[in-house]
Chains A and B, each alone.
Chain A
Amino acid sequence: MNNGSSMKELSLVILSEDLDKVNETIIGHACLHPFKMDAMDDWAKNLDEFHTESALQEYLSVEKRIDFLCSRINFDLNYSSAVFKKIKNELVKLKTKDVSKQIIDLESQIKSLDDQDSLLDEKISNLKELNNRYSMFEEMLELPKKQSYSILDQFTGKIPSSNLKYLQDNLTRHPHLLIPVKENPPWTVVILYSLKRESISIKKLLEKSNFQQISLDTEFEGSPKDILDKVNNNILMMKKAKSDLVEKRKNLFEHIRKNIVIYGYFFHYNSLLLKAQKFFKKTDKTCVISGWVPNDMLPNLIKDIKNAVNGRCYYEIHNPVDLHRSYTQVPFKFNDNKLIKPFELLVKAYGVPNYSTINPTPFFALTFLLMFGFMFADAGHGLILVLCGLYLMLKKSFKITVRQVGLLLVLCGSSSTFFGVMFGSVFGNEKIIAPVWIYPMRNIDMILKISLFFGIGMISAGIIINVVNFILTRKWSDAIFHKTGLLSGFIYWGLLGLIVKSFVLKHNVPGWLWFLIVGVPIIILFFKAPFEKIIGQGSFQRNEGVFAYLMNTVFEIVEIFMGYIANTFSFIRVGAFALSHVGLFFAVFNLAKMLGEGSFGTIASTIIIILGNILVLVLEGMIVTIQTIRLEYYEFFSKFFPGDGTLYKPLSIQENN
């Protein structure tokens, strides 16, 4: 049974002088998930702590700067134990202060180049804008600055050509000089001179004429032509400066690329040491290290630690069950194979399983693929997903997470292809291949029944896993009386059987059978509290009172009935989406057929089919994914998976371990 790796609690006492060696060994093995001993055992509260917070903050801030540098040079500093081993000796030679200064210097150099670059961009953009504006007035011999007039207002701008007459007519009442400069359909570029004393009324008139001001404010002197020449010269100068910057940046990036690995590992390793020390305790001369280690990795770790300290250490190994540790405290280590590893991402998004409970990832993977493929059954679209997935998977420059998403796409695409072949659908077309199984639209009843039965299967699996989890964690009462425990399961399955017998097979079901299968388990549910009292488990409140207890149980029973009914019918959407895929394409092909009758019909219908396929692939692909995740989380996981476990995170140079 896959229920995560078995863990052992390791408590290690070493001499303070051996701390660095032991730390190095622990980080090298990358298998110890540290915890604070005083959180588990009260006696440890008397021990001192390592005060590493301020030093750690400093290291982390430098690490952030390193991340910034990496992102700027587009370099993925993927910390790995292998690289660390190779360069370990070089790291010893480095001094924190020097490296830190180097990093800050490099960062400020990049930022200074960025500032210069954005300043140049802004200047170029402003100059280009100025160029555009002055181009409109290129034919003018001179454009005096507005402020050079003491009695005149100068308005430079454009108005819709259709409004020019309106403007001219209305200006006759005012002393003015209107110079139409350029026709720039549908605009006319104009300069208007009027008396300053009439500013307000002229501005109103211009506003009514939909006049749009073109500002000609600039530091450049001369005629528009002179200014345009100067602007263009300046743009060229700026561009030259920009290309110089590119060269400078290239050299700087090259320098960073040469050193960033050493710098990165240096700070990453040192901050890791400090992070580890946060969990450790100490006395005057000794250190106490505590953590969870997977059972299979423990002997090697112990051996290497002993070697590192020449046997000068004391350790204890305990089974978490023996120490009555809470199952949420012990970390859960996923041990899925590579094929279903990507599904861990989706499982972790919901939560982490409790230690020693069943790992839901394989179930999740299987049911996710079945539902996705069934709902998005199309061999053509499936193959596209496979190809996209392969691209993401095989491109080595992508991060591991992206590559895992690639594998996810390959698996989902394969499932879609499989069901596409089963349903005879290729890019929505059901005439290319004959279905190996059925045409969904011609077997709607069957599709919906399959969905329903699949849902019943999923819910049943959820109940069984939940019961097993409770047994594994020795919660006997919950195994029987929980809302998704054994009794609820009996009620659910019994009811299903009775409904099928009575309404589907039309058999006469006697009342005593209803009572026996549904009534008796309900009655037993009321004995939860006495049972818990006998075995000494459970959360029954002694002061609750009998009436309150009975009411609680009644509501729980109602909740069980409502919940199971709603959950079961929720799975009908699996069939509904399988049908909607066919339905959507029915609409696409009909539209294509309608357009195909006109001139350029073949081209139009081909375009519609291509666009329809893209739309369905993106839109339906997204909706189906969301719906599948929804069914997994709310209908399946909610039956057995509280998600409040602790994820296994060992001290390791590798971030993704």
Chain B
Amino acid sequence: MNSLSLYANLNAKTRVWLSKLLTTEQWKILYACKDTRSLIDKLENTRFAKWVKDKNSDNFAGFLDTAIFKESLRIERKIARNLKEIPAELVSLLTEEYDIEQIKRGFRAWRNKTAFIPPDKSVISERHLIKWDVFSSASNIEEIMLALINTPYGAALSSAKDLYRKSGSLFYFEHALEKNLFSRISKKINQLSAEDRKNVRKLLGIQTDIFNVNNILRCKLFFKLPAEEINSIIYPDGTYFSQEKCFDAYVSKDAAEFLNHISVPQISGLIKNIKQVQMEDMAPFLNEILRLLLYKEIHNALGGYPFTLGVPLAYILLNRLETKQLRSLAWAVRLGKNNQIEILKNTNPLAYK
């Protein structure tokens, strides 16, 4: 009864928002656009109509970058406001991802010694007080860490300090921030009611798996991270892959062994034949399968018991997925990369029934 009273109102709102998401037919129309103008025209008949009104096609893709953040954050805050206690805290915690994106941007500006414009309040969570001008003024990394010391990000950066010093790569800071956030999210999930916990764990667990698989592959193929340090980039509580499995996958010799550790039941038969395949060829396919599983899980959440946190969370994930796809499409269209548009179309689960 508690959950019913808690989620009934939000559930109804979420259903309304869900109905406004792009349909598969609309996606097909958008993918057929040959230039930004026609993309803008086609978006006029969607929920993004307010964004495209009187928009110039020249700066549309750039505009979309910011607009998407703002819109997503606005909705997620709205969802958090409609919730109470732990569920509200969890959704708020999710909005910290936007902060991390801005911190990453700040680090790159600091590193490249380029100008850094502090983010507008509409694109950050405002959960923590961050002195953004530090990315313009800091002369060393310690100053930045000191500026963030009163936020959870400070502790995360401290943990990756040594690795950064050894390698000089910002990669470790970025992952430390994300890992810290995922750990806090995981702790928060544990405080949820049993029903909520089950649903949320499934949804965010697969997302965690996707991050982990991508990180492991990136490290294995490009960063060549020492095995003993790999745990620093593995996020906790994946649905399919535990930290041990991720570690074993990282130290595997070939694609077959890799998949032997990193596998989902849906492709188990495929693993034994993977010997003939290079890891580079296999990675995008595996990533796509995980994305597909996440999408299926989202649908399961929406089709299951309605009075849980799973429903608004599923909407958040769908909204993020949709806006991200749209952003990629806008840039591909702007740059005239038809091949890329075709790939985007084929890898977008929202474009298929």
Contact = CB atoms under 8 A, between A and B. Distances in A.
Interface stretch (A137-145, A212-220, A384-392, A498-506): A137-145
Nearest to A174: B346
Contact of A195 (B272, B281, B292, B339): B292
B276 A172 contact: no
B269 interface: yes
B270 A193 contact: yes
Contacts of A173: 339, 342-343, 346
Contact of A191 (B267, B273, B349): B273
B12 interface: no
Nearest to B285: A177
B266 A175 contact: no
Contact of A144 (B270, B282, B349): B270
A181 B277 CA distance: 10
B269 A149 contact: yes
A166 to B, nearest CB: 15
Contacts of A141: 272-273, 275
B288 interface: yes
A175 B285 contact: yes
A172 B343 contact: yes
A223 to B, nearest CB: 8
Contacts of A180: 276
A151 B288 CA distance: 11
A89 interface: no
B170 interface: no
B284 interface: yes
A153 to B, nearest CB: 12
Given A195-B292, A197-B352, A175 B284 contact: yes
Interface string B291-331: 01100100000000000000000000000000000000000
Contacts of A177: 270, 274, 277, 281-282, 285
A148 interface: yes
Interface in B220-255: none
A141 B260 CA distance: 13
A179 B273 contact: yes
A198 interface: yes
Contacts of A148: 269
B289 interface: yes
A145 to B, nearest CB: 8
A197 B282 CA distance: 19
Nearest to B344: A173
A151 B276 contact: no
A151 B268 CA distance: 12
Nearest to A141: B272
A60 interface: no
A226 to B, nearest CB: 12
Contacts of B270: 144, 152, 177, 193
A368 to B, nearest CB: 74
Contacts of B285: 175-177, 193
A171 to B, nearest CB: 10
Contacts of A151: 266, 289, 292-293, 296
A189 to B, nearest CB: 11
B214 interface: no
A150 B267 CA distance: 9
Contacts of A198: 346, 352
Given A150-B266, A152-B266, A142 B272 contact: yes
B158 interface: no
Interface in A115-165: 140-144, 148-152
B311 to A, nearest CB: 23
B347 interface: yes
Contacts of B347: 175
A83 to B, nearest CB: 70
Contacts of A191: 273
B269 A142 contact: yes
A569 B27 CA distance: 86
B346 A152 contact: no
Contacts of A175: 284-285, 288-289, 346-347
A301 B310 CA distance: 111
Contacts of B349: 197
A143 B271 CA distance: 10
Interface in B166-201: none
Nearest to B291: A175
B236 to A, nearest CB: 26
A99 to B, nearest CB: 62
Nearest to B287: A175
A140 B273 CA distance: 6
Nearest to A179: B276
Interface in B23-45: none
Contacts of B276: 179-181
Contacts of A142: 269, 272-273
Nearest to B353: A197
Nearest to B296: A151
Contacts of B293: 151
Contacts of A140: 272-273
Contacts of A193: 267, 270, 285
Nearest to B256: A141
B292 to A, nearest CB: 6
Contacts of B352: 197-198
Nearest to A223: B272
A179 B266 contact: no
Interface string A89-131: 0000000000000000000000000000000000000000000
Contacts of A181: 276
Contacts of B266: 149-152
Contacts of B269: 142-144, 148-149
Nearest to B273: A140
A178 B284 CA distance: 12
Nearest to B349: A197
Contacts of B277: 177-179
Interface of A: 140-144, 148-152, 172-181, 191, 193, 195, 197-198, 201, 223
Given A177-B285, A198-B352, 17 more contacts: A141-B272, A144-B268, A148-B269, A151-B289, A151-B292, A151-B296, A152-B266, A176-B285, A177-B277, A178-B277, A178-B281, A179-B273, A179-B277, A181-B276, A193-B267, A193-B270, A193-B285
30 contacts: A140-B272, A140-B273, A141-B272, A142-B269, A142-B273, A143-B273, A144-B269, A150-B266, A151-B289, A151-B296, A172-B343, A173-B339, A173-B343, A173-B346, A175-B284, A175-B285, A175-B347, A177-B274, A177-B281, A177-B285, A178-B277, A179-B274, A179-B276, A181-B276, A193-B267, A193-B285, A195-B289, A195-B292, A198-B346, A201-B346
Interface of B: 266-270, 272-277, 281-282, 284-285, 288-289, 292-293, 296, 339, 342-343, 346-347, 349, 352
Please name the 6 residue pairs, one residue from A and one from B, whose CB atoms are nearest each other, closest first.
A144-B269, A175-B288, A141-B272, A142-B272, A197-B352, A173-B342
